[in-house]
Structure 1
């Protein structure tokens, strides 16, 4: 009967001593111990207050001072884990039905038969055990969910930091080149991706460039692209001369195959070597999507792969193709995230866009990358555009470009917080209209920098507005020490002054070196993390002045209530 490891405690409530004794003996025979007694509802209340571990209550309905229904109504609140069985005579049958509606498990006639009582008691205790087990499983599930949420949050932050590290592998700025310009646009599909590119000057007359795309996306593909970059050899160590593209791909393929033997891991790549002395371009492609060679007055030419993907077989052979670049020619390299299907129709669309005069790499991206694969599994996208004419070269690795280079392309929505580093300091910037949505990633990155002991510059030269969460976050960071503010606009300074942010105003500097290339930070944390950031920021502002305390009182109290406690 009893599924618990210890005998259940029972209570019999009846104003008739003989009836009470009979029920008590029956319960003892059924394994209950101890079996407590009470002569009415008032006495039963006292027992239940002293013994909240009572598992089963059998009560009569008609009793002096407090009847069974009133006791039941009180007991369902005071001892919610107890199971209740009502003892009813014929004259109180309707009351027994009412007791069931109040939450009693069962009712029995007065002076019940032992078999009837045995069935009712067993069922009640089994029901109690099932309810307790359900509650235990529910608590366990909640604990597991919290653990998973915490693990997910850690992974999210790790992926965001990995994406910052991965961006550091990308070239920051194009090498100098006369008569040519080269533009690149890189967009990871997730926090980290498998796309990688670079442009390198080799000696006086050669310019090497490559674009690689590891299979899949995420951490695995990112690590495979890093392996490719590490094993890439562009110059003959004996002669110091630039190696032909086919030899470069063959050598890196052998090295990758020796480094790993996991099935299904491979990458595609295209490698080009531009000889500026005779305007020739030699290309080799390892399973990569076709390279487009556009020339005025001629049909765009497709240079398809000259060998298999890298990492499949160590003895793979690669060919190469030599092109002549005339003034005005254009070469477009891209990863397959740009054209999900790679169909001839999509290639025709690329040719049409590429033929438009003065179309930039960002315009090519904007017109062709429609976001059809948007979502958690969207692929990485990178394009590299080489123009055989003089012009401004630039690389867009996710940060906002200077106005002269942006060609009118809109900044990707949501990119407000940016990060970059120099030898001397780390830089964080807020651009446009900064709100609470951007503060978690901004704060988390800043704290990580300060904990490493690095000076931190907060660049607000392109910031038009900050909401109160951003302002409070800035104050928190400045209060930690080691923070300087640069480029503070009059509008933002006025916000600092209005909220009595004297410590922040004192941290403004006019002699801070210009910010380096900055990369957009990822999104912030989950709802609980964001709520905590908003609360802490407003608490920081409230502590600055009585006026602030009054202004943000309702916000702080509301947020504290949502988090289930006070600070």
Structure 2
């Protein structure tokens, strides 16, 4: 019956020597050793002070000097980890009930039978072990939360340097294209974004362009963007002809899937090929927000996705659509940060803004975000606007930083991640707008649960929106197994469907288990020393090309200097 590494130490408190002897022998037969004795409450206090290792106390109620109830009141404060069982005669039954209310685990009649004592003692020690395990798990969870909170400074600097990486991937100036005006605007949400775009002239006739949005932020996002850009093939190497957009997306999707097997990493992208000889435009979209085709005097046409996001399935199939451009037509590509809700109402607003003949890319983003509350958390925003008329082209890759705390770290809007436990599962809930700022606490807590072999219930009944980082995190966790989703709102389900996240959709349960009381997890700033990892990432990027080597030279030298100074 011994549940601990060593036999449990017990004590019996009773003013009757015969009763003490009988109970002591019974406890010894149950594996307790040693079993100490005390004749009353005062004596028991002295024994407990001298032996804090006592885990089980059996005490009579009616005793001289200090009775069992007074001893119990004292003991629950002085030795809170000990389990208490009271011995009661018929005349003290009410007192035994009072003892239970004071925190005793159980009560037994005086001169208890061996079977009764065995059950009570085993249950008490098992209960103590369960409480100790729960406390251990709680301390472990607190430790993990503290570790997350201790990594803020490195993450902040990581994001700032990843911004350098991201900007190095963006084009510096638009190519010349007679009869067309190209405008692009890029704004990272928090230091660095997962957005990427480019416009490339292919021969005399064709203009190729794309807009991609990599899941996540920081170095992970930048590396995924590098992978996408490096694996993108625009021209058939055998013929030198421009490849159709559907073929371009299918090829880069296969290449990305072959390059990594990590779930939760994916990109959405839209790729276009403009043939200036006949003013035709061919588009293919991999899970990306709709492309808008605006024409004077007509409602804007929406070109929705023609295939799933990149990096989810190597055999994904992509279709393409062909548009005919007239003079004055406009084509708008954008990332999901432009329309945070992704609702049809926002799309209608975007169509109205685009219908304005003087709306530049800067005016589009300004008008759409005019109603955003001051200091609100923002996602990355990238806009690519192609006008079928002559005019000045420009690329604006400047930075637009959101409001920050005094430490320079992003400030989350509110508590978003919540945690609780039931007898059968651990429960995590995402509420409000879940973004990359909240994913560290969400991801680490979920991994701790799954690594411990416990099932995880993810409650999304209060979740209004997830950015690509949260979507990727959910995909990764579901792929591990042991995760079910409950309360999925229509808006979030639409995001899963938009990205063809079949595994996640299959994990949704309409009627999940009732959630226990939940408490908010800290998603504050993170501080830890992982400079070596950041340096290696930048060195890896620098090795990809001579241009990268020049772009990241100062960053790499700065990181190496900081490491040398810290030694």
Tell me how far apart the structure 2 counterparts of residues 340 and 141 of structure 1 sit (CA, whole Å).
36
Residues of 2 paired with 1:228 and 1:213: CA distance? 9
1:211 counterpart residue number: 210
TM-score by length of 1: 0.52
Which protein, 1 or 2, shows the higher relative CO under an 8 Å CA cutoff with sep ≥ 6? 2
Match of 1:269 in 2: 271
Provide the rounded CA distance (Å) in 2 between the counterparts of 1:186 and 1:300: 26
For 2:298 and 2:351, how far apart are their aligned partners in 1? 9
Q: How does 1:138-537 map to 2 (within 5 A)?
A: 138-144=135-141, 146-147=143-144, 150=147, 162=162, 165-174=165-174, 181-186=181-186, 195-199=195-199, 208=207, 210-213=209-212, 217-218=215-216, 226-231=226-231, 246-247=242-243, 252=248, 256=252, 259-260=255-256, 267-272=269-274, 283-287=281-285, 292=293, 294=295, 329-335=328-334, 337=336, 353-365=353-365, 382-386=383-387, 388-391=389-392, 393-397=393-397, 399-400=399-400, 415-416=402-403, 435-436=405-406, 439-440=408-409, 527=522, 529-530=524-525
Q: Quickly say closer, same or farther: Cα 1:123–1:268, change in 2 above 3 A.
A: same
Give a deviation string over 1:163-197, Cα, whole Å, max 9, x none: 66334312345568899753223467999876532
Q: Is the 8 A contact 2:211 2:333 kept in 1?
A: no
Shift of residue 39, structure 1, vs aligned partner:
2.4
Report the Cα distance in structure 1 between the residues aligned to 2:138 and 2:225, rounded to whole angstroms. Answer: 39
Partner of 1:53: 53
Which deviations, in whole Å up to 9, do the C-alpha atoms of 1:135-186 show, x marking residues without a partner?
Answer: 3134225414643785699797667865663343123455688997532234
CA distance in 2, matches of 1:10, 1:315: 70
Residues in 2 aligned to 1:208 and 1:164: alpha-carbon distance in whole angstroms: 27
1:41 is aligned to 41
- Check the 8 A contact 1:197/1:210 in 2, yes or no: yes
Which residue pairs with 2:466 in the alignment? none
**CA contact under 8 A between 1:334 and 1:384: conserved in structure 2?**
yes
- 1:67 is matched with 67
Note the alpha carbon deviations across 1:355-382, whole angstroms, 9 max, x for none: 423222233345568999xx99989753
CA distance in 2, matches of 1:105, 1:320: 75
Structure 1 residue 81 corresponds to structure 2 residue 81: yes
The answer to whether the 8 Å contact 2:60/2:68 transfers is yes
Question: Separation in 1 of the partners of 2:283 and 2:237?
Answer: 23
Whole-angstrom distance in 2 between the partners of 1:171 and 1:48: 75
| Structure 1 residue 44, shift from structure 2 partner | 1.6
Distance in 1 between the 2:316 and 2:523 partners?
50
- Equivalents in 1 of 2:222, 2:31: separation in Å? 65
Question: Partner of 2:20 in structure 1?
Answer: 20
> Does the Cα contact within 8 Å between 1:192 and 1:217 map onto a contact in 2?
no
1:519 paired residue number: none
Question: Quick one: distance in 2 between partners of 1:247 and 1:285?
Answer: 12
Q: Distance in 1 between matches of 2:91 and 2:349?
A: 89
Q: Which residue of 1 aligns with 2:486?
A: none
SS of residue paired to 1:230: helix
The structural deviation recorded for 1:387 is 6.5
The CA distance in 2 between the partners of 1:342 and 1:532, in whole Å, is 34
Q: Which residue of 2 aligns with 1:488?
A: none
**Structure 1: stretches of 5+ with no match in the other structure:** 401-413, 418-434, 443-525, 534-567
Q: What's the counterpart of residue 553 of structure 1?
A: none
Aligned CA RMSD, in angstroms, stands at 5.6
* Local SS of the residue matching 1:439: coil
Deviation readout 1:272-316 (Å, 9 max, x if unpaired)? 4769xxxx8664434586663646xx76897979x9999888999
Q: 1:197 to 1:440 in 2, by over 3 A?
A: closer
Q: 1:154 to 1:165 in 2, by over 3 A?
A: farther
1: CA distance between counterparts of 2:15 and 2:369? Answer: 83
Preserved contact between residue 12 and residue 57 of structure 2 (Cα < 8 Å): yes
Q: State the alpha-carbon separation in 2 of the partners of residues 345 and 29 from structure 1.
A: 75
Aligned length: 398
Q: Is the 1:186–1:381 contact (alpha carbons within 8 Å) kept by the matching residues of 2?
A: yes
Contact 1:294 / 1:301 at 8 angstroms: preserved in 2? yes
- How do residues 119-134 of structure 1 correspond to structure 2 at under 5 angstroms? 119-134=116-131
Shift in CA distance, 152/34, structure 1 to aligned 2, threshold 3 Å = closer
Asked which structure has the greater CA Rg, the reply is 1
